[in-house]
Structures are given as structure tokens and as C-alpha cells.
Structure 1
């Protein structure tokens, strides 16, 4: 009797584990093998590690631009970041020649990162397609565009043409192995603030969710883009899981959940308890829903705190078993003497950053091992 009870318990545990594993997969049933492997490997790595990322790391840095093989992070540590942040900002709102150049430059960047074994995440600072003002909201000129872009809106066909350009690009990014490069696509970020035209004060919850769902559906189902992992990332204004999910389009439309938080990490205040609590909401939801989680943007401009890396960022991330696939700090401007978020040679935070780099918890590009290949454990995927 005891043996039968034990076998039953083992069966229930294994069944629960299998069901959980089945739920934890990309929302795209036709995702490429490399995209599925990346999703799976990021989930596994996040149990004990977090990948370090830097926006525009290989495109330009503190005092330089367009130097192949260079990044400020590599100049300091000997390795590029594990995650390179790029942007679709150049894919619309410009002359056709400029758009084509932006696509080609970004294609080369993303393919190079893949060939080295690194990972790309794509933000979208999307210039308002129906008014002036760029991607920011400007009271004097900006128009609330979201209801115009969704099905039935007067600019819907225009929006589809912009997505067509993204879809064409997605089909063109092939690595040296001939496979399509997977990327994490993070549209409409920080939507809970009012600084972008897609922000909460400028569109209803229903219209925002409709825009998100249409964007994913059109890219995936109409254009056949199967190498995107879709990331949902508000800023840090939420206080509970319910707040975090207020504009969430549903589990069938999101692969990764994240948060952008500069305010609590030293920009406005040092409130590490609040930063951790909000990351825990994100991480816990990802575990529950079978999603990836990430600290999608953070940083401290100019890094005036020389121990920020280990005493602020690492302390928050390593606390209480957070499952974060990556953390990304913002860009290093090539001209500004103060607008940078990662150290460069000679910066006062370099010694602490080396400690951050050397901690087994953090992974950089040279630490990655075939993240686009599925790995076997006891013969079972």
C-alpha cells in the first residue's frame, strides 16, 4: 500500500512538472528551432544567472562610433555584453533611403551578435506616424495615435505598411549557419507613463491591448515572422500584480514580462526594497505563467556611485531567488560627456564593474554556450 502511494505521488509530481514545462514555451507555435531553444535556455539560465545587457553597445560608445568589434564593456572586461540592445526607431518616419540604410545597418549588427553567440533585444522608439512630436508626447503637436492604428482606424493601413517593413527585415536576418536570428522584440515599453504617445494618459486600456494583439498577430500570423520573442515591459509605476497586469494583453500574446526602473535605482532615490519588491512581482508572475522575466531597463546616468554595480544592482538582482533572464542598462552616448550608463576605460566604477563581471551570477557574451541550441538532460529535452 505504501509503495502504491509513493508511486502515485511520484507520478503526480512528474505530471505536474511536465504540464508546467509544456506551458513554458513561446506563444508562437511555429517559432523557429533556435527561437524555441533560446526561450528554453533563458528560462533555465535564469534559475542561477542573469545575462548582462547594454543598449547600443556595439554601435557606439563614449567618444566613438562604428568601430567593428568594439564596445565600452568589452574594452573594460574583455567581453561584449551578453545582450545587445538595438532599436527599430529608424524603420519609419524617414526618407526611404534612410530607412533602408537603417535596416541594413541593424541587420548587420544583429547578425554579427548572433554569430558571436550573443543575444539581441529590440526596443521601438516609434515616431508618431500621424503627427509631429517624434516618439515623445508633446502637448502642442502630438496626436493620440493608438485608436487610429488599430483595425478600423484611419491610419490602420499605414501601420500595416510599417509592420510590413519590420516583417521583411525579420525574414532577412540570417546567421552564418543559415538560420534566422531570434530577437526579443519589446514594443510600446513604459506604456504606464505619459512621456510616449502610446502612454496610458493618451490611450484607453482597451485600445492599447488591441494594438498589442494586432501587432503580434500581424507579424506572426499574417507575415510569418517566427523568430521574435515578445516582451511586455511597463515602467515602475505598479504596486501590485493587478497593477502590473492592468494593460496586459493576455498570456497568449506575451513571451516575456519585464520592468524598466531607473527611479528606485539611484536616479531619483535609492529605494532598493521597492525595486526588489516590484521585480519580485514580475519574476513571480513569469514563474506562475510560464514566461520569461527580465529587468528590461535600468541604470544610473554617469555612474557617480563607484560601487553601484555590486552594492545596488547586484544586491537587488541576487535577492530571494529572482528569475531574471537579463538586465539591461541604457546607452553610452558618443558625444555627451555625461550621458552614459556603462563604464568605459578609466571610469571610477571600473573596479566595481569588474567585480560585477566576475560574479558567477552575471553572464556576459563570452560566458554563453550555444544558447540557440536545445540541450539534452538524461536524453529528454
Structure 2
């Protein structure tokens, strides 16, 4: 995966903004209050046609031993101590392996799933509820000490018999049992103020708008002002651009003198006019649009021209040295931040607020900023925030973090919005309940939660029904068409609870 994001939205209550289904746009809330308040914003989509039984509390429904289920290319073992029942299921390193358990529940409703597991390394697996292959949910298990219980999120189960299939992906994990509880809907306590106490009016207004719509509407997004094919009168409200070319380590500058006059790529910044493009698009929306900026930060040194040096595999740049004051790596990091700051200032001067999402997918380790572990990355986040906010006085940014691992999280006091970059596979339009639940638990229900990048578009109605009301989505380039059927794209952009712009 390679993804990131930042969003910028210019607000203008004089103009009408609506979904293509003609849903009235929510007015911007008053952001003039001086005191910080905690507000509760429980997701509640209006006029849902589908209904579920609502529980008064969370209570145990059933426990299912994994070894008693239907095993495909997996085996029952007993060599690891601490299991329940008669053993646990092993062999799940094999992508053809699976466990299926069947059970009954009393009502059609939301239920919470816990899995008792053990693992010693990274992994990614899949969950299928009632054979709904197009709604497969990605799972990941952190390293454990023996068998541990993991909250896997909430799922709709039907009255009577249901099935859950655990399908192996990659990385080994041992499954002991599945536990089902009734589930309550999430409650939120989200601050009305941004983490930057000097945030300007444009940023405060955008944030108030996002907060007001969270749980009620989903903001549609795409890349770089491109038209969404087959959706003629609907345009995404949010567009994303990449800041990658603005630093000296950019490896795709072209020089006719390189390679003994044959021409070739060299290191050097390139003015790709990304900021100008974003501003121009923003104007065409009559200040209704949201510009999202992401940053594939090419390593300040290391690597070779013509390679993607933001990837760990293509550079030897050491982020742990970059966050130490006075090192050469630190000086180069500051140089890059200053270069990007000069571009961000153009947006601030134009009155455009920005949802800024640097250091995306850090916990995966595939980008250099995540290559040395969580602590150097969090230090880099703090350095970046301090440099842009306190040195360059850029106050139009809303800070967005998109990595779900607990040990990597900078903290609620340093992040405005949390997000997840979702690539569950072609045509998998499931709402990705597990990752939404991870982010909810990560922040204690105190942050807006967004799908900051995606291939397949989640089904908006099911997002609300299944208590995973992503604040926005942002389709990633050609994957929008490669991983979604055209009819689904049309349905999503015309959904009454999806916000778009017309211009």
C-alpha cells in the first residue's frame, strides 16, 4: 500500500451544496465560542430504511471453540499452553486455510465479536459473515504474550442461524475461540476545538463543518480534480493532491545533461504547480470544495534518481538520526519542511483550510518515516507540527493521522482526525468494521474517523447501519474503476447521505 492525505475545504454558506440525491446540505455550526466544549455526536443517519433491534446493554451471547468449527487446510493443536476447550487452530499461515463456525442469535441486530488468539509476528487476515464475500473485513492481530482476547468490531447478524468464516491471509496466527456479545452503538465526545490553539477561522469553520456532519453524511473524495466517470452531474466534494515534488530529494527531476548528455532523472525539486491546481479547482467549486493534500515525502538523502525513495526499500535515510537536533539528517529534514511550508502558505494566504495528513501508514514500515519504529516517527510528527505551526505560523491546517496501531499514535492532544487507508481487495465494498472499531478504541471516541484512502467504495447505507460512519472517503486513482463496478460508483455518489458538489 502507498497512500496518504490532506484535505482542504473552503466554506461558503452563500452557496448551495448537496448530494446528487438532492439531500439538503447541513449548515455550518457557529464556531465563535471562546471556551472549549466537549460535544457528543452519536452517528445517526436519517431515514434508514433498514432497521435493527437495539440492545440496552452488552451481554454474552455465545462462545465458540475454533477447533470445533469446520476447518479447511487448518489443524487443531495443543502445544501452546493456555488454550480453552480441547485445543486451538493452527496452520493459518496458509492462505487457503479457514475456520467456519455456525451459531444462533435471538434478534437481527449488531453484535460484537471477540477472538482469542496468539501470534508472534505481523499478519493480515479476513473475516466473512454469512458468506458475504463482497463484504469481507480485513483483520490484523498485534503480537501477543500467549493467548489474548481481541475486540474485532461489530457486525450485523441475522435472527436464527449465522456463520462466521475466518479466512487466512498472510502471517501466522493461532485461533482459540470466538466470543459473541450484543453490541451498543458508539458514543462520541469530540472537542469542538483544534489541537492548534491558534488555528485560523478557515480551519475552525471547516472542522466545525466536518464535526457537524460526522455520523450524518459521508464526504465523497477523489484525486487531483479528475472527473469521476459515469457520474455526470456529481463531483466529489474532496480532492487530493501530492506535495511530493517540492523537496530537493525528489528523484524524478529531468536533466538533459544526465547520463553523458543522454538525459535522465536527477535529484531536485520540481514546481509541479500542485498548489496552483488545487486553488484553481477550489475556485471552480465557488469555494464549496475540499482540497486534500498528501505528501509522499521523498527521502532527503539516499536512494537513486528514478526510484520511489519514499519507500524504505529504496533509501537508507535514517529517520532516527533525523529527529536528533544538529545532525546532518536533521538539517535536511528541516530544509524539506521549510520548502513545503512555503507552498502551504499560499493556501493560507488564499483563505483555504487544509486537512493535512503527513507520515501516513507509518505503522506499516514501508515508508522511511516508519522504518525505525514508532518513537522516531512520533518525534518526527512533533517536529513537523512545531516547525509548521510555531516557526512558519501556518494555522490553516487540520492535522490528520492515518495509522491504526496504538503504539504509533501521537495522541489525542496532537491529532485532529484519525483515518485509515482501505484496500481490502477488488469489489469488496464492506464497511471495514474492524478498522473503524480500532480507530474508535484508539481515540476513546474523541476524534472524527475518516477513510482517508480507498480502492473499493464502502456501501454508505451499511456504514451507518453497521455503526461505522466514516466521515469521508477518497478514491485512489485508477483503483476507483479497477476495484468498483461502474454501477456501484454511481450508486455511491448518488446516495442521499453522500455529499458532493455541483459546478
Report if TM-score (shorter chain) is over 0.5.
yes
> 1:205 and 2:374 equivalent?
yes
The 3 A distance-change label for structure 1 pair 47 and 271 is closer
Structure 1 residue 328, shift from structure 2 partner: 1.0
CA contact (8 A) 1:149 1:159 kept: yes
Do the aligned partners of 1:144 and 1:203 also contact (CA within 8 Å) in 2?
no
Equivalent residue number for residue 162 of structure 2 = none
Helix, strand or coil for the counterpart of 1:226?
coil
Question: Which residue of the partner structure matches residue 473 of structure 2?
Answer: 327
* Cα contact 2:421–2:452 (8 A) shared by 1: yes
Aligned to 2:422: 261
* 1:349 positional shift: 3.0
Partner secondary structure for residue 86 of structure 1: strand
Give the C-alpha shift of residue 219 in structure 1: 0.4
Mapping 1:288-299, distance limit 5 Å: 288-289=445-446, 291-299=447-455
1:15-56 Cα deviation digits (max 9, x unpaired): xx9444883321111111011010011011112111011122
Deviation readout 1:120-167 (Å, 9 max, x if unpaired)? 1211111111210511122xx521421122132331111111111111
SS at match of 1:295: strand
Aligned to 1:304: none
Conservation of the 8 A alpha-carbon contact between 1:171 and 1:180 = no
Q: Which runs of 5+ in 2 are unaligned?
A: 1-35, 41-189, 256-267
1:112 pairs with 2:280:
yes
8 Å CA contact 1:51–1:326 kept in 2: the answer is: yes
Determine the structure 1 residue equivalent to 2:70: none
Please say if 1:183 is aligned against 2:354.
yes
Return the offset for 1:287: 6.9
CA deviations 1:146-198 (Å, max 9, x no partner) are 11221323311111111111111111126xxx742111111111112132222
Whether contact under 8 Å (2:199, 2:395) holds in the other structure is yes
- SS of 2:375's equivalent in the other structure is helix
- CA distance in structure 1 between the partners assigned to 2:302 and 2:393 by the alignment: 30
User: Is 1:25 aligned to residue 193 of structure 2?
Assistant: yes
Structure whose residues are more often strand by fraction: 2
For residues 224-262 of structure 1, the C-alpha deviation after alignment (integer angstroms, 9 at most, x for no partner) is 01111111102xxx6xxxxx3211112221111011120
Q: Is the partner of 1:155 in helix, strand or coil? A: helix
State whether structure 2 residue 434 is matched by structure 1 residue 277: yes
Distance 1:224 1:325, change over 3 A: same
TM-score, with normalisation over the residues of structure 2? 0.54
Comparing 218-227 with 141-150, which one deviates more in the overlay?
Answer: 141-150
Q: Measure, in 1, the Cα distance between the counterparts of 2:437 and 2:476.
A: 22
Distance 1:316 1:296, change over 3 A: farther
1:105-144 to 2 correspondences below 5 Å: 105-115=273-283, 116=285, 117-132=288-303, 134-138=309-313, 142-144=315-317
- The residue that corresponds to 1:374 in the other structure is none
Which residue of structure 2 lines up, in the alignment, with residue 360 of structure 1? 496
Q: CA RMSD in A?
A: 2.9
Structure 1 residues 18 and 213: CA distance shift in structure 2, 3 A: closer
Larger mean CA deviation between 316-325 and 253-262 belongs to 316-325
How big is the shift at 1:109? 1.9
The structure whose Rg is larger is 2
State which of 213, 218, 224 in structure 2 corresponds to 1:45.
213
- From 401, 406, 424, the equivalent of 1:245 is 406
For 1:36 and 1:208, the matched residues in 2 are separated by 27
1:90 maps to which residue? 245
Counterparts in 2 of 1:348 and 1:123: CA distance versus 1, 3 Å:
closer
Residues 150, 207 of structure 1: 8 Å contact kept: yes
* 3-state SS of paired residue (2:445): helix
Q: How many aligned positions are there?
A: 296
* Corresponding residue for residue 230 of structure 1: 399
Matched with 2:83 is: none
Please state whether the residue corresponding to 1:364 is helix, strand or coil. strand
SS of corresponding position for 1:252: coil
